[in-house]
């Protein structure tokens, strides 16, 4: 028997979706955050960010008047900023489950979501932030609105750090505006 690598099996899972499974392609643009904004220790407020995400809903539950959805999300983000006279780049790959909540039984209108997973960062140093590892935890919180046609607009806060598994743990944050294309 020929064994397929785990990545190939994951691709088959993502591409072969049942008719009822919802999928989104998410396009993001954003900015790094200041050290006083949230969790990070140093500012990357001058950093710019673009990204693309693939999300697939794998479970949905209606509990009372609330709709709860579990999504799997794979993401690529690119940040860049000027630091000491040269342009620095940071590439981020993420995999994470995401929980989305609608305060209605139907998935429409406003929602909130949170996701926690793993991220690989291409560089341990970005601006004045020196991370102790390239592998980090990825955390995000978002709020958004599902439009009548099914597309979604959201505002997201993202945080990356090693979760105090190593020292130091400065982490960094960015905020993004996201357009989710439903298909």
Dist CA 92 CA 90 (whole Å): 6
Full DSSP string of 127-157: TTEE-S-SEEEEEEEEEEEE-TTS-EEEEEE
Q: Quick one: pLDDT at residue 28?
A: 97
The residue with tokens 């995400």 is: 53
13 in a domain, yes or no? no
Cis peptide before 168 (omega within 30 of 0): yes
**CB neighbour list of residue 164: distance below 8 Å, 6 or more residues apart:** none
Can you give the pTM of this predicted structure? Answer: 0.83
137 in a domain, yes or no? yes
128 in a domain, yes or no? yes
Number of structural domains found in the chain: 1
Nearest to 101 by CA among 60, 156, 40, 160: 60
- Residue 174: which CATH number? 2.40.160.20
7 in a domain, yes or no? no
Q: Quick one: pLDDT at residue 19?
A: 44
* pLDDT of 12 above 50: no
Q: Report the relative pairing of strands 23-32 and 172-182 from DSSP bridges.
A: antiparallel
9 in a domain, yes or no? no
Dist CA 121 CA 91 (whole Å): 6
pLDDT tens for each residue of 115-162: 999 999 999 888 888 888 899 999 999 999 999 888 999 999 999 988
Give φ, ψ of 147 to 5 degrees: -75, 160
Return the ∠ at Cα 21 (arms to 16 and 22), rounded to 5°.
110
16 in a domain, yes or no? no
28 in a domain, yes or no? yes
pLDDT tens for each residue of 65-111: 999 999 999 999 999 998 888 999 999 999 999 999 999 999 999 99
Residues spanned by the domain of 37: 21-182
Dist CA 170 CA 28 (whole Å): 24
How many Cα atoms are found within 13 Å in the side-chain-facing hemisphere of 83? 17
């Amino acid at each position: 028997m020929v064994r397929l690598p785990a990545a190939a099996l994951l691709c088959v899972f993502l591409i072969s979706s049942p008719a009822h499974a919802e999928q989104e392609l998410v396009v993001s643009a954003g900015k790094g955050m200041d050290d006083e904004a949230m969790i990070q220790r140093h500012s990357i407020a001058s950093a710019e960010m673009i990204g693309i995400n693939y999300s697939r809903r794998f479970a949905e539950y209606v509990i009372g008047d609330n709709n709860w959805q579990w999504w799997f999300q794979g993401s690529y983000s690119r940040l860049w900023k000027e630091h000491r006279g040269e342009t620095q780049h940071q590439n981020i790959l993420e995999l994470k489950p995401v929980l989305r909540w609608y305060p209605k039984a139907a998935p429409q209108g406003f929602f909130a979501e949170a996701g926690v997973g793993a991220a690989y960062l291409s560089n341990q140093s970005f601006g004045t932030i020196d991370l102790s590892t390239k592998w980090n935890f990825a955390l995000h919180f978002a709020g958004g609105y599902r439009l009548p046609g099914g597309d979604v607009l959201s505002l997201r806060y993202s945080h990356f750090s090693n979760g105090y598994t190593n020292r130091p743990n400065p982490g960094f944050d960015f905020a993004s505006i996201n357009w989710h294309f439903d298909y």
